[in-house]
Structure 1
Amino acid sequence: MARPQILKLAEVLAEIDMSRAAFYRMRARGQAPRLRKLPNGQIRVRRADLDDWWETCANAA
């Protein structure tokens, strides 16, 4: 089964094994993957943005 192109925030948090609070602190520092806010207020992350963010984290370590 192919990975979805757009992920819910809960899916992202489960994949990166991080709490919502820690994710939002990281986001406030400008260190989170790019988020998309839907008109209904829900947040989504594109798979490509998450993969790029992971690559950046791996290169920084």
Structure 2
Amino acid sequence: MVLNRTELLTVRDVLDELGGVSPRTFYRWRELRTAPRCIRLPNGELRVRRDALEEWLDDRAEGAT
């Protein structure tokens, strides 16, 4: 499967990819400015670019200690 790096994911898509994180947790991360960067559409809905989600995950990866 080829991933489209510019694909815009819904909040639900992001939560599913994160293994079922709750919407409340995601929006709390937004309040704390620790969530992946989002795009607010003119209708008020949020989207996350796939590459931004992947970068956000990479930034949180823990190396072997």
Q: TM-score, normalised to structure 1's length?
A: 0.86
Q: Alignment partner for residue 6 of structure 1, among 5, 8, 28?
A: 8
Matching residue's letter, 1:56: D
- Determine the structure 2 residue equivalent to 1:38: 41
Greater than 2 Å deviation, 4+ residue runs: 1-4
* More helix per residue: 1
- Determine the structure 2 residue equivalent to 1:53: 56
Unpaired runs of 5+ residues, structure 1, are none
How many residue pairs match? The answer is 60
Q: Deviations over 1:3-61 (max 9, x none)?
A: 3411111100111120000111111111100000100111100011000000011148x
3-state SS of paired residue (2:15): helix
Greater radius of gyration (CA): 2
Matching residue's letter, 2:61: A
Unpaired runs of 5+ residues, structure 2, are none
Q: CA RMSD in A?
A: 1.6
Q: TM-score, normalised to structure 2's length?
A: 0.81
